[in-house]
């Protein structure tokens, strides 16, 4: 059987599953990468190579559970689906009858990024009930929102087009670890003479591939200061007459305003902000302006700052200054979700027309998923019921201890649909068993390549598990809801959402390529007078839309409040900036940290410090240290490394509470302030103090 990986990853690899039908219940006996898949070409990452260990794990939840102990204790008893649904229906009706529909909160994310599992599950149900709406913007949305303020949309260069590039700037993306199937394209471009530049506040696995003898370079700015470096690069390009004036005149607006804005951003000034040598900024600017084709590749990481949207808005200005969009293999590359998801009719899936309005015409309120702690502890009127699926917010969402306090409330009823007893599931009143990707038909729309892939169910649901869409059909039936569309089966949902796709052909062929310009240039013919979907039809160096929402109309650097260059009172108390990167190849996603062949092989949680800072603090490699701020304090082992700069610390993301000696995860510390626009969250603008722990826990 053929399918596709569903994880929150740009690669969305194709796989094949071998099933043994000689037993009463068919068993998946082998899962391997599909060698014919046009992008992943047979390779799977270390975590998915062992996916069958996940499917058949003895710790997997296979039957409904009801909590018997205090919230968070992990004490549950098995019950039947009938008992579970009866209790859920009763409690939800009570909450709605007492407090109204807005007292119910749906909470889900990208645990399964397939069409039905992520986009088609639950929206109709919650819309019909008038539940509080959830803004799902914790990752990715800010990237597109920032880019759109310059280019008019989130469209960008398809990443494999970089095979034509001669300079590839990997800005804030650890390609070899988190986008590994793109690396062969980059290596082919290097074989053809391309150079790479890696820009990252951490010396990542990708930075280690830099070969200075070939003309590659690694640049390590302080976290959250990238905009200052971009402004200085544009200063140099304009100062030295390296702009493509013909292209700028034909295809941009606001150039004079941009010139005025960057005039004061000399390389010397930016060097002081970024901690990057002046000559490095100068030479990088000249390289980007004079090498054709030049591609700038970025992904999600840089958005997790208070100035995250402005970073992507500013970065998108760079290829417009140099006319890089003229060239195949030139321009700016980020998610291709713009191209793949254009085929999805999201309204057909979610049915926003079902949302009730008040007599005054108001619709239910919306809350941002990144502020879950505040939503559960401060919102008025309060949330009294939650259904959580496709995510583990106690590990993945910032300010986790505030979330924990909210989930522990006695007056909130919580249902979690899960495969394992996660940190979040331990706070549920009812836990319901969820299928894996091997147990349900779905369609995977990638955001790292153009190949939409059909995922065929290889085996029946294990135990009493059900997929995400079936979950809400069952709850709707138990509540005796009379809206017919709540009961549409999966094939109907697919047909409604994908009216322009022949599902039979997709199922038969396995994948199809999303439409993308034949000449490889994402904005069509750059000789067209108006190829950009902005109001002006051009790249907008100056944006009226930004001015309308109270943001600077020209790219501007403002240091995030909770950063090394931000609030002086904060930095005096908390002198280190904490990053929480994806670090471990065996469990990039938090859902693997608990599996025996994944988390244990990576050791355990640690805080990375440079040797200079370790000496200053008074800790040695292997000591315990307390990392703390006003949100929480956690104790972790010190790991001295050359990956981080002085003043910067890193605790890898993904470990669960059980893996920490004090039960508090990295996201207990992180900042839940929202980005400048786009609704994202400033994980990486987190200041901490670090002190030795005298007694090993």
**Could you report the average pLDDT of every consecutive run of 10 residues in the chain (697 residues)?**
95 97 94 97 94 97 98 98 98 98 97 95 96 96 96 95 98 95 97 98 96 96 98 98 96 97 98 98 98 97 97 98 96 93 94 91 95 98 98 97 98 98 98 98 96 97 98 98 97 95 95 93 69 92 96 97 97 98 81 88 93 98 97 98 97 93 95 98 98 75
Contact 514, 449 (CB under 8 A): no
231 with 300, same domain?
yes
Of 121, 22, 213, which is closest to residue 473 (Cα–Cα)? 121
Contact 392, 403 (CB under 8 A): no
227 with 308, same domain?
yes
Strand 442-444 relative to strand 430-433, pairing: unpaired
- Here the tokens at position 531 are 């190829």
- Here the tokens at position 662 are 């004090």
What was the pLDDT predicted at 695?
Answer: 61
172 with 297, same domain?
yes
542 with 648, same domain?
no
CATH number of the domain encompassing residue 213: 3.40.228.10
What was the pLDDT predicted at 91?
Answer: 98
Residue 128 lies in a domain: no
544 with 572, same domain?
no
Burial environment of residue 683 by CB neighbours within 10 A (0 to 12, 13 to 18, 19 or more):
buried
H/E run at residue 628:
strand 624-628
358 Cβ neighbours under 8 A, 6+ residues apart: none
What was the pLDDT predicted at 590?
Answer: 83
What was the pLDDT predicted at 528?
Answer: 63
Residue 10 lies in a domain: no
639 with 607, same domain?
yes
Residue 645 lies in a domain: yes
Residue 653 lies in a domain: yes
CATH number of the domain encompassing residue 625: 2.40.40.20
623 Cβ neighbours under 8 A, 6+ residues apart: 637, 638, 692, 693
What was the pLDDT predicted at 506?
Answer: 97
Write 312-315 long-range contacts (CB < 8 A, 24+).
312/142, 312/143, 312/145, 312/146, 312/147, 313/146, 313/147, 313/149, 313/150, 313/543, 313/546, 313/555, 314/150, 314/227, 314/230, 314/231, 314/555, 315/171, 315/226, 315/230
Domain that includes residue 322, residue range = 155-338+524-548
What was the pLDDT predicted at 525?
Answer: 65
Report d(CA 565, CA 588) in Å as an integer.
30
Strand 252-253 relative to strand 686-692, pairing: unpaired
What was the pLDDT predicted at 581?
Answer: 93
257 with 334, same domain?
yes
- The SS3 of residue 250 is helix
Residue environment code for 514-536, b if the CB has 16+ CB neighbours within 10 A, otherwise e: bebeeebbbbeebeeeebbebeb
- Here the tokens at position 307 are 């100035």
Structural domains counted in the chain: 2
315 with 182, same domain?
yes
- Here the tokens at position 684 are 């990486």
Residue 678 lies in a domain: yes
Residue 510 lies in a domain: no
Cis peptide preceding 293, ω within 30 of 0: yes
Residue 416 lies in a domain: no
578 with 544, same domain?
no
Diameter of the chain by CA atoms? 74
Report d(CA 375, CA 394) in Å as an integer.
14
Residue 433 lies in a domain: no
541 with 621, same domain?
no
Report d(CA 252, CA 543) in Å as an integer.
11
What was the pLDDT predicted at 697?
Answer: 47
177 with 289, same domain?
yes
Instruction: Give the Å distances, CA to CA, from 34 to 13, 340, 437, 453, 518.
Output: 8, 20, 15, 12, 26
540 with 636, same domain?
no
DSSP 118-174: IIISSHHHHHHHTPPEEE--SSSHHHHHHHHHHHSSS----GGGGGG-SEEEEES--
The residue among 513, 548, 583 that closes a domain is 548
Query: With DSSP H G I counted as helix, E B as strand and the rest as coil, what are the percentages for the chain, rounded to 5?
Result: 35, 15, 45
């Amino acid at each position: 059987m053929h399918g596709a990986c569903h994880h929150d990853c740009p690669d969305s690899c194709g796989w094949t599953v071998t099933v043994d039908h000689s037993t009463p219940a068919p068993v998946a006996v082998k899962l391997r990468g599909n060698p014919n898949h046009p992008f992943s070409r047979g390779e799977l990452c270390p975590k998915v190579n062992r996916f069958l260990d996940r499917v058949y794990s003895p710790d997997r939840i296979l039957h409904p559970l009801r909590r018997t102990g205090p919230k968070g204790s992990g004490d549950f008893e098995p019950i039947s689906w009938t008992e579970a649904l009866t209790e859920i229906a009763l409690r939800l009706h009570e909450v709605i009858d007492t407090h109204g529909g807005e007292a119910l909160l749906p909470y889900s994310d990208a645990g399964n990024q397939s069409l039905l599992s992520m986009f088609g599950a639950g929206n109709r149900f919650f819309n019909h009930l008038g539940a509080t709406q959830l803004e799902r913007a914790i990752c990715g949305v800010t990237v597109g929102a920032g880019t759109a303020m310059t280019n008019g949309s989130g469209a960008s260069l398809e990443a494999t087009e970089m095979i034509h590039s001669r300079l590839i700037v990997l800005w804030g993306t650890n390609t070899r670890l988190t986008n590994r199937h793109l690396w062969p394209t980059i290596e082919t471009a290097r074989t053809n003479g391309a150079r790479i530049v890696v820009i990252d506040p951490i010396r990542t696995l990708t930075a280690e591939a830099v070969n200075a003898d070939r003309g590659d370079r690694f640049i390590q700015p302080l976290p959250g200061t990238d905009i200052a470096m971009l402004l200085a690069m544009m200063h140099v390009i304009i100062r030295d007459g390296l702009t493509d004036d013909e292209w700028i005149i034909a295809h941009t607006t606001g150039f004079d305003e941009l010139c005025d804005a960057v005039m004061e951003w000399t390389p010397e000034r930016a060097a002081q902000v970024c901690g990057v040598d002046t000559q490095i900024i100068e030479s990088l600017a000249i390289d980007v302006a004079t090498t054709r084709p030049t591609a700038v590749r970025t992904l999600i990481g840089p958005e997790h700052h208070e100035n995250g949207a402005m970073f992507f808005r500013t970065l998108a200005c760079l290829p417009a200054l140099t006319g890089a969009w003229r060239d195949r293999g030139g321009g700016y590359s980020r998610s291709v979700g713009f191209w793949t998801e254009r085929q999805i009719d999201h309204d057909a899936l979610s049915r926003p027309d079902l949302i009730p309005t008040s007599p005054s015409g108001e619709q239910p309120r919306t809350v941002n998923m990144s502020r879950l702690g505040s939503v559960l502890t401060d919102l008025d009127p309060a949330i009294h019921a939650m259904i959580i699926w496709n995510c583990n917010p106690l590990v993945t969402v910032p300010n986790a201890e505030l979330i924990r306090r909210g989930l522990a409330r006695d007056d909130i009823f919580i249902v979690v649909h899960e495969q394992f007893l996660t940190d979040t599931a331990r706070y549920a009143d009812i836990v319901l068993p969820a299928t894996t990707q091997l147990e349900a038909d779905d369609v995977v729309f990638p955001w790292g390549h153009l190949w939409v892939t059909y995922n065929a169910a290889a085996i029946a649901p294990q135990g009493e598990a059900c997929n995400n869409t079936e979950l809400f059909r069952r709850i709707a039936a138990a509540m005796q809801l009379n809206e017919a569309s709540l009961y549409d089966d999966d094939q109907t949902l697919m047909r409604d959402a994908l009216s322009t796709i022949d599902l039979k052909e997709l199922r038969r062929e396995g994948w199809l390529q999303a439409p993308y310009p034949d000449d490889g240039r994402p904005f069509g013919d750059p000789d067209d007078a108006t190829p950009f979907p902005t109001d002006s039809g051009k790249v907008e160096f100056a944006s009226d839309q930004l001015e309308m929402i109270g943001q600077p109309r020209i790219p501007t650097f403002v240091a995030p409040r909770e950063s090394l260059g931000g609030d002086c009172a904060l930095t005096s108390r908390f002198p280190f900036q904490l990053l929480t990167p994806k670090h471990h190849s065996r469990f990039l996603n938090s859902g693997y940290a608990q599996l025996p062949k994944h988390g244990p092989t990576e050791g355990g949680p640690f805080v990375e410090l440079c040797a200079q800072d370790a000496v200053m603090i008074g800790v040695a490699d292997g000591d315990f240290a307390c990392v703390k701020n006003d949100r929480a304090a956690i104790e972790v082992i010190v790991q001295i490394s050359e990956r981080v700069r002085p003043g910067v610390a890193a605790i890898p993301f993904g470990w669960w509470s059980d893996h920490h000696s004090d039960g508090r995860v990295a996201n207990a510390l992180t900042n839940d302030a929202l980005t400048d626009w786009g609704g994202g969250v400033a994980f990486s603008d987190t200041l901490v103090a670090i002190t030795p722990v005298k007694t090993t826990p």
